Amino acid sequence: MDGSISVMLTNTSSSATAAVTVAVSGGGTLLGCVGTRYAYTPAPPDMDGTVTSAPIFSATAGDSVAVSVPAYSVVVVVFPKR
């Protein structure tokens, strides 16, 4: 265990993007300043899609991060130990 934090979020809505706040607490656990957001969104007609990645930034205090999860998508956010 390297102390990193990973969270998988799934949006089963067919039309709405989910605005999610991931909060961490306990044991002095804080998110690193910059993490990575991986997203998979199926695309018609065969519902095959690609996995994209981009940087994502935690709140200044390191205790939360806002994540947008598109309709019918899976998003994984990964933050290194702070």
Domain count, the chain: 1
Q: What is the pLDDT of residue 54?
A: 97
Q: What is the pLDDT of residue 66?
A: 96
Range of the domain at 61: 5-79
Strand-pairing partners, residue 9, are 75
Q: What is the pLDDT along the chain (82 residues), one digit of tens a residue?
A: 788 899 999 999 989 999 999 999 877 788 889 999 999 988 777 778 889 999 999 998 889 999 999 998 999 999 998 7
H-helix or E-strand spanning residue 21? strand 18-23
Rounded to two decimals, what is the model's pTM?
0.88
CATH number at residue 11: 2.60.40.1180
H-helix or E-strand spanning residue 78? strand 73-79
All residues at 6 or more sequence positions from 40 whose CB lies less than 8 Å from its CB, including other chains: 49, 50, 51, 52, 73, 74, 75
